[in-house]
Structure 1
Amino acid sequence: MTKSYRLIIVLTVTAILSGLLLSLLNLHTSPLIEAYQNKVLNEALSSVLPGSDKINDRIIENKRFYFGYDKQGNITGIAFLTEGNGFQSKLRILVGTDSEMTRITKIRILEQKETPGLGTKIDTDPSNKANPQWFSKQFEDLNIGDKVSYVKNQTPDKSAGQIMAITGATISSKAVVDIINSALIENKRILSKNTDLNIGQCPDIESDNGGGINLENLPEGAESVS
């Protein structure tokens, strides 16, 4: 057996073993990652849909909506996941609104890898010790109107749907606003076309393409969203 032939065999065996090892590692870690992501989502849903005792998720026109309901089964709000490009990373945002989608209740930035110390402030601003989530908190109880907009170096008018952009990270700030506006336009269109779905009352029986979670035990998040 020649030296080069032995080298080919060694490299082939090494590649096969490496592939098997990665496959086994993926089989072990994937369920853990999924469980953690569901836990984070459940906790975020309880935050952006305040006053909800139960949340039902439902797919409408290939879009997943989360409908919050009180103990009497009346709708309390609507939430949805949306994503888009930031300055240098994908942004994944959970948006909560009132039942008419005229007001944002809260948002949660679930994923971002923006410029450290600048764009990352869309999630947490370590330089603002008193209010590190000041940027995302601007969206709390924010009137949507025609659309959400941002201002720079001036006090935003919350009743007009304005928020303050982050100094030095205008692109990241604008990206959050644009992503939310695009999702609001599309999701309003979808729900206005499907008024026959009767989302105003919590269904007694869960649909095949949706499920429900009880929020009494959150934020521990024992149950996952289907």
Structure 2
Amino acid sequence: MPIPSETLPPRGLLRDDVFARLRDAIVDGTLAPDEQLRDGELATWLGVSRTPVREALLELGRAGLVRAIPGRSTVVTPIDERSVRDARAVVAAMHALAVRHAVPLLSDRDLDRMRHANVAFAAARSAGDIDGALRADADFHAVALEVSDNAAVRSVIAQYEPVLHRAERLRFASHEGAESVERHERLTALCAAGDADGAARLAEQTWQTLGPLTDPDPHTKGPHA
């Protein structure tokens, strides 16, 4: 048969896009804990076939964001203290490793990117823009990840960090956000001074600050680091 004229999206790219869309929907609460996920409904929502949805659900299962219950549809995994604690330990260690390797390689431009991201983080927090604060926080930490250029570290963080992002949205304490801005400033200063060990220790401590899941007010939610 002749080769079809239309260009199909690469299989891996389509699967990765579906994974990212579903991951983000779980993190921001669009897909709530214990909600049933039917691959047909998800495929219709995303405008794709069931195959990339099923592949994405398997990957989300490995990340601890969904689980399959025998005789029922796959469901969004509830957030629990143990999963947050385990993910926190892994993510904190990986960020510390990335920072330690990145510090000798950081350029003035890289340091400026960190400073600008922290300014954006502080501004978003002040404006009550939770999504903006989370994006700015990710931009800040992404600098060391990019400079360290360790694919294994990025892969591990990508797998476990969404669990922490879900937990961030369950509670908010204003002093934690303010302290995060100051921690970012200190981390940037240590990087600028070439103190790889000190920067790595602070990076690990920053990610370890995600505390209990108690939310004093379910209507106030926000980032931690």
TM > 0.5: no
Determine which structure has the larger helix proportion and give its number: 2
Q: What TM-score results when the alignment is normalised by the length of structure 1?
A: 0.24
Q: What TM-score results when the alignment is normalised by the length of structure 2?
A: 0.25
Determine which structure has the larger strand proportion and give its number: 1
Highest RCO, 1 vs 2 (Cα 8 Å, sep ≥ 6) = 2
Structure number, greater radius of gyration: 1
